[in-house]
Structure 1
Amino acid sequence: MSTVATTRHAAGIGTIGTEEPDYAGLAARFRPFFTSIAAGSAQRDSLQQLPYEQVRALADAGFGALRVPVADGGFGATLPQFFELLTELAAADSSIAQALRAHFAFVEDRLLATEGRDRDTWLARFVAGELVGNAWTEIGAVKVGDVLTKVSPAGDGTFRINGEKFYSTGSIFADWLDTYAERTDTGARVIAAVRADQPGIERRDDWDGFGQRTTGTGTSTFTHAVVQAEELIDFDARFKYQTAFYQNVLLAVLAGSVRGAEREFALEVRNRKRTFSHAAASIWREDPQILQVIGELSAAGFTGEAVVRRVAQALQGAHDAALALRAGDIGLVAEEAANDAAELAAAAGQVALTPLAVNALSHAFDALAASATSTAKNLDRHWRNARTAGNHNPWVYKARLIGDLSVNDVALPRVWAIGAA
C-alpha cells in the first residue's frame, strides 16, 4: 500500500479491501476547499479570472483520485459518491466542476483498462495529482464524423500530433490532454494522451460564452507535439458509458448551480432591510411570497440532486457490468443492457433537469427587487452558468430520442459527433 493510501486509510476515509469509503469522511476532507472556492467564485467570474490555485489545491488534496481504488492510493469512491461530491463542488463554483469533466472521464476509462503496467502508471499519475484536460472538438466546418487532427509515426518509436481543437474544457489546468485524433498510418481513431508542458502545444482561453467563463475552455493547437506510443489508446475500446458519464457531470453542474444560488439568494433575502408598501409582510424575510420563491428554488435543487444520484446509480450499474463481463459472470447482452440503461437515465435526466434548473434560477430573481441585478453581487452568474451548461448536447434531441425508444424501441446512440452536414 502506498504512503498516500496509508494516510487516507488512517484518516478513516477508505478501508483496505473495500471499494466504498464513508461519504462523511470524503465530504469532511474536501468541504473546507469548497468553502474557500465559493468565497471567491463571484469575483473570479466577474473578472474572468481562471482558478489555477483552486484547481491545483483540489488536485494536491487528491480530488482527482476520488475514483482510484484505495489499494492504488486513491479514495475508492463509488460513482454515486463521486457525483454527490462533484455536485457539492459545483454549488461552490460550477466552472471548476465542469473544468474537471474530462479528467474524471479519463480516470473512468483507465479504471476499466486491462490490468497491467499501463493502467498502473495512469493510476499513479492520478494519485500524484496529475490532471487531464479535453481536446476533442474540431474547429470550423469539418464534416460530421471527420477527424482533422492527425497522429503520425515519427520513425523513432514515438508519434507526432498536429491539429487544432476547440471547447478544450479544463485543458489550461491540465498536465495531459485527452485528444481525439486519427492515425495516418492505420486510419484508426485514437485517444492521444499528450503531455501538455511541451513545445508544440498552445492552449488559449478564448471561450467567449456568457456563462462558465472560468472553465479554462478554448483552443488547443498541436504542432508536431510528441506522443509516446504507449499513450495512444484505441477509441473504440473506451468505456461504453462515456457519453452518459459526461452528461451527468453537466447535470451535477446544473444541480450545483441551483444549490449555490439558493444559498446566496437566501442570504440576500435574510439580510434585506427594505420592503414595499404593498408587500405581504413588513419584514422582507418574513414575506410569504418571497419565502415561496426561495422554497421553489430549494425544491429544484433537491430534484437536481435526485436526478444526478439516479443517473450515477445507473452509471455504477454499467461500471459493475463491465467488470462482471470481464470476469465471465454475465454475458454481452446483459452488459449492453446496463450501458443502455445508463444512457437512458442520463438523457431523461437532461430533459427533465435542464429547463427546471434554468427556469428556477430565472424565477429566483423574483425573491429580490432591482438590487438582485447588481453586477457587484453577480447573482446572474448562476443563471448564466446553468443556461450555458444546459446548451451542451442539446436536450431537445434527447427528448426525441427517448420518444423514439418509447414508441419504436430504437436504442439511444451512445456516441455522436458534431460538424457540418
Structure 2
Amino acid sequence: MTAVAERVAILGSAEAIEAAARLSADFAAGAADRDRDKVLPHTQIAQLAASGLLAITVPAELGGADLPASVVAEVIRLISWGDPNIGQIPHSHFVFVNQLRLQGTSAQQARILPDLLSGKTIGNAQSERGTKHVRDFTTTLRRDGSGWRLNGTKFYCTGALFADWIPTLAHLGEDGPLRVAWVPRTADGVEITDDWDALGQRTTASGTVTLTDVAVTDDLITDFAATFDRPTTYGAYAQLLHSAIDAGIARAALDDAARFVTTKSRPHPDAEVDRAADDPLVVHAFGEMELAVRGAEALLADAGRAVDHANTQLDEQTAANANLAVAAARAATTKTSVEVASRLFEVAGTRSAVAKDNLDRHWRNARTHTLHDPAAWKIQHLGRWAVDRTLPPRTGQL
C-alpha cells in the first residue's frame, strides 16, 4: 500500500505533463536492473502517488484537478517511456476512478475519491483464469444478512499489490448482473500473491487476488453491467491508456537503439564509414522506425482528443468515433512497439544481444502487454466501419 501524505499537489495539465516527464527520466535509470532482477517498484509507485499524478482525475467538486483523458494518456505514455511496468501499474487506478465517476453515487465518490488526494491508490481484481473468455467471471457476491460476502479468485491483478482499494468484478449470485465491489486492501479475507511470472512486464506484480468470504456493504458496491447500456467512453478510455503504454515502449526502444548505435555498434565494412550511425542502411532503418513511432504517437494524441470530445458531447456517434479512434491508436501502437523493439537489434548489431544490456526487455514488454487485447479485432471493427459504417460494439475492449 502507498504511504499517505497530508495532501498531494493539485496539478494542472502542463504541470502534470512536466511531472510525468521528470519522473520518467528517474524511472528509466533503473528500469533495466529492475527487470533483470525482478525488483518490484514500490519506491517508484510511492513517488508517483506523492507527485499528485494519481489524483489528476479526481472531480473538481471533490477538490481534484479533473484533467481530461488526453492528458492522462500523455502522462501514462511518458511514464511508460521511462519504465512501462510503472506505466501499467496505475492503469486500473485511472480506469476505476472513471468507473466510480460514471456509476457511483455522489456519496460513494465522496467516500473513496478524496483518498487519492492524500496519495492513496486503486488496484483491480477483474480477470480470471480458466473461464470461457475474458468477459466470463465466476466471482460472486452473495447476501449475508444486511451485507454481502465476496468469494473468488482473480488473476492479472495489476496494481493490487500496491493498492489501498481493490475494486473487484463479481456477479450478484451465480448468474446475476456484474457489480464492482470496492474492497479495502486490508479487509479480512483478501490475499494477494505475487505469482506473476511472465515473459515481459515482469515487475507489474500482476498476480493473484484471492477473496474468501470478504464482507462488503451495500455502500461499497457499484453497478458495472449498466456501464454499457448507453453510449459511453468507458472502454475507449481504458484502451487509450493501454495504447499509451505501448507508445511509451516504442519510443524507449528507439531511444535505446540510437544510444547503442552511436556509442557501441561497429560499422559494417561495406558501408565504408567510420561510425555505424553513418551507415546509410542504418540511417534508413531509423527513419522508418521514427516514422512509425511518430505515426503511432499521433494516432494516440488524436484518440485522446476524440475521447475528450465525446466526454463533453456524449451521444451514440461521438462515443463510436472515440472507440474507433482508440482502436486505430491501439492497433498502431501494438504493431509499432513490437516491430521497433525487434528492429532495435537489426540496427544495433550483434553486440546489442549481450545479456547485460538487457535491451530485449523492450521487445518482451511490448510483446507481453500487446497481448492484452487482440489488435486484429480492432482492425476488424475499423474495417466494418470503413465498409458500411457499422458502429463498434460497446464491450469496453475495442
Give the structure-1-normalised TM-score: 0.85
Change (3 A) 1:238 1:416: closer
AA of the residue aligned to 1:136? Q
Task: Report what 1:270 is aligned to.
Answer: 262
SS in 1 for 2:269: coil
Q: CA deviation at 1:64?
A: 0.9
Residue 76 of structure 1 is matched in structure 2 by 66
- CA apart distance, 1:28: 2.7
Q: Is the 8 A contact 2:104 2:223 kept in 1?
A: no
**1:101–1:114 CA distance, 2 compared to 1 (3 A):** closer
* Structure 2 CA distance for partners of 1:39 and 1:143, relative to 1, 3 Å: closer
Deviation at 1:345, TM superposition (A): 1.3
Could you say what the CA RMSD is over the residues aligned between the two structures, in angstroms? 2.4
Aligned to 2:352: 372
Contact 2:234–2:396, Cα closer than 8 Å, also in 1: no
Offset of residue 59 of structure 1: 0.9
**Do the aligned partners of residues 142 and 355 (structure 1) sit closer, same or farther apart at CA in structure 2, a change above 3 Å counting?**
closer
Could you tell which deviates more after superposition, 100-109 or 72-81? Answer: 72-81
Distance in 2 (alpha carbons) for counterparts of 1:401 and 1:84? 25
For 2:327, the equivalent position in structure 1 comes to 347
- Asked if 2 retains the 8 angstrom alpha-carbon contact of 1:347 and 1:402, the reply is yes
1:117 to 101, 104, 107: 107
Aligned amino acid, residue 209 of structure 1: A
Q: Which residue of 1 aligns with 2:3?
A: none
**Corresponding letter in the other structure for 1:59:** A
Determine if the alignment matches structure 1 residue 337 to structure 2 residue 326: no
- Which residue, 183, 199, 216 being the options, matches 1:227? 216
CA contact (8 A) 2:39 2:203 kept: yes
Partner of 1:95: 85
| Residues 1:103 and 1:416: Cα distance change in structure 2 (over 3 Å) | closer
Does structure 1 residue 385 correspond to structure 2 residue 396? no
Aligned-partner Cα distance in 2 for 1:375–1:184: 50
Instruction: Determine if the alignment matches structure 1 residue 304 to structure 2 residue 296.
Output: yes
Letter in 2 for 1:191: V
| Structure 1 portions without partners, runs of 5+ | 15-20, 323-334
CA contact (8 A) 1:86 1:97 kept: yes
- How is 1:197-212 mapped onto 2 (pairs within 5 angstroms)? 197-212=186-201
Q: Measured at CA, do residues 225 and 398 of structure 1 come closer, stay the same or move farther in structure 2, by a change above 3 Å?
A: same
1:153 to 143, 156, 161: 143
SS of equivalent residue, structure 1 residue 303? helix
Q: Which residue type is aligned with residue 390 of structure 1?
A: T
> How do 1:163-202 residues align onto structure 2 when only pairs under 5 Å count?
163-184=152-173, 187-202=176-191
Give the Å deviation of 1:380: 1.0
Structure 2 counterpart SS, 1:278: helix
Distance (Å, rounded) in 2 between the aligned partners of 1:391 and 1:196: 28
Tell me if 1:236 matches 2:225: yes
**How far is the alpha carbon of 1:124 from its aligned partner?**
0.3
Q: Within 2, Cα distance between the matches of 1:193 and 1:319?
A: 25
SS in 1 for 2:313: helix
C-alpha deviation, 1:201, in angstroms: 1.2
* Matching residue of 2:95: 105
Question: Does the residue aligned with 2:191 lie in a helix, a strand or coil?
Answer: strand
Give 1:221 shift: 0.8
Which of the residues 323, 342, 349 maps onto 1:362?
342
Q: Quote the offset at 1:115 in angstroms.
A: 6.4
Distance 1:243 1:416 in 2: 3
Contact 1:137 1:168 in 2 (8 A): yes
The alpha-carbon deviation at position 26 of structure 1 amounts to 2.2
Q: Could you tell me which of 270, 294, 306 is aligned with 1:314? A: 306
Is the partner of 1:82 in helix, strand or coil?
helix
1:168·1:220 contact (CA, 8 Å) conserved in 2? yes
In structure 1, C-alpha distance between the alignment counterparts of 2:329 and 2:174, rounded to whole Å? 41
Contact 1:300–1:357, Cα closer than 8 Å, also in 2: no
- What is the deviation of 1:145? 5.5
> SS at the partner of 1:383?
helix
Q: For residue 283 of structure 1, report the CA deviation from its aligned partner.
A: 2.1
Identity score, percent: 32
For 1:198-241, what per-residue CA distance to the aligned partner results, in whole angstroms no more than 9, with x for missing partners? 23111122233211111121211110112232110011343722
Q: 1:416 to 1:76 in 2, by over 3 A?
A: closer
What secondary structure sits across from 2:373 in the alignment?
Answer: coil
The CA distance in 1 between the partners of 2:155 and 2:265, in whole Å, is: 46
Is the aligned partner of 1:66 residue 2:20? no
Does structure 1 residue 245 correspond to structure 2 residue 237? Answer: yes
- Runs in 1 of length 4+ with deviation above 4 angstroms? 142-146
- What's the counterpart of residue 398 of structure 1? 378
> Secondary structure of the equivalent of 2:167?
strand
Count of residue correspondences: 389
Are 1:79 and 1:316, in contact at CA under 8 Å, matched by a contact in 2?
yes
Compute the displacement of 1:320 (Å): 1.5
Q: What one-letter code is carried by the residue in structure 2 that aligns with 1:288?
A: P
Report the TM-score, using the length of structure 2 for normalisation. 0.90
2:144 partner letter: A
- State the alpha-carbon separation in 1 of the partners of residues 195 and 120 from structure 2: 24
Following superposition, the deviation at residue 413 of structure 1 comes to 1.6
Q: Partners of 1:410 and 1:175 in 2: how far apart? A: 41
1:127 aligns with 2:117: yes
Specify which of 43, 46, 53 is matched with residue 53 of structure 1. Answer: 43
Any unmatched runs of 5+ in structure 2? 1-5
SS state of the match for residue 134, structure 1?
Answer: coil
Partner of 1:27: 17
